[in-house]
Structure 1
Amino acid sequence: MKREEKRREEKREKTKEKRKEKKRKEKRRLQKRREKKRREEKRREEKRREEKRREENKIHQLYEISVHVSQCGKESRSCASPSTLEEDFSHMRAVSGHVWHFCSALGTHAVQDAVDFVACKLEENTSRS
């Protein structure tokens, strides 16, 4: 009788331990899963920030190129020698190629923003001079 009780008690203890171990494993699995999700979200956020920074840099470069183009235009109107006009024209064509390259790199959703930004900045520049 005592042996049987002892055996049952040992069995209960063993099942208790198994349950505890199972709970610990599940808890650890869920914790790892949360950590993984957190890392992935952090990585996605970093990618978004990097993409936004690249886009802002491209817009700024587009602005710089546009200012350069407008300066070329002003200079070519002020000194109207044919050779200078020819050089300015070919230079402006090359620069407009860069503008197109940046616009296509920005993607259609950002091109209008870039164009508006550049137009605004050029307007400010021309109103100052």
Structure 2
Amino acid sequence: MSEFPTAPDVLDPEVEVLPLPDVAERLGVPFTRVHQMLRDGLLLAVRRDGVALVPAEFLTDEENIVKGLPGTVTVLRDGGFSHGEIMRWLFTEDDTLPGRPITALRENRGREVRRRAQAMAF
């Protein structure tokens, strides 16, 4: 199986993270599909103590990936941001939103998040 990208652990220790088998279970997909989602940029993971972990806030209660997350990640990656920089940005407070970009995505305010991502990336 080919390797998938991970970011360094730039998250606050209070951010809930899930091991990949738990992500697969919550999404109702095979474990290998989670690896593919990470390779495709649908999800991002950090590596903590050698273990790949996905922030729980990337998943909805309805067992889906948060709407707008993959598009936002793509915009930032295309703009030259590393996985660590993307992860840090998603979880950093932004007074102009207000709140963190990941929170805004979860609240269906993806248009504002992508607008900021595009402005930062280009």
TM-score under structure 1 length normalisation? 0.22
Structure 1 or 2: larger strand share? 2
- In terms of fraction of residues, the more helix-rich structure is 1
| Structure number with larger C-alpha Rg | 1
**Which structure carries more relative contact order (alpha carbon 8 Å, separation 6+)?**
1
